[in-house]
Amino acid sequence: MEDITGLPARCAALLEQHEALGEEHAQLNSDSGALVEQREHRDHLIEHRDALFRYHEDLAGLPEPRRQRLELNKASAETASMLAETLETIERSREAWKRATDAWQRVRERLDH
């Protein structure tokens, strides 16, 4: 477990990162053509989710009142929600691309005959 004196600074850094990811998420939701950026955002969210998990593991040894003050449950829940939304967006884009390429393939087959 990390030295507990470093936990408040780590908490602040995670919250700052979480805020930046939230802003990025809102921006990407307004841009339907940002598939590459969505995939990068997904990777950042996964890294953030894992960092939050490790942080909470490190809090486990603290006394209850101190642990409760440092927990980032809201950030963890919001990260999970943003990740789910991002994965849904990526899947919808993938399905749309597949439909478009399948349709184009059918057109090409008709033109070849």
pLDDT tens digits in sequence order for the chain, 113 residues long? 446 778 999 999 999 999 999 999 999 988 777 788 999 999 999 999 999 999 999 998 888 888 888 899 999 999 999 999 999 999 988 898 899 999 999 999 999 87
Q: What is the pTM of this model?
A: 0.80
Give residue 35's pLDDT: 82
Distance, CA of 1 to CA of 60 (rounded, Å):
9
Measured in Å, how far apart are the chain's first and last C-alpha atoms? 68
What φ, ψ does residue 21 adopt, rounded to 5°?
-65, -35
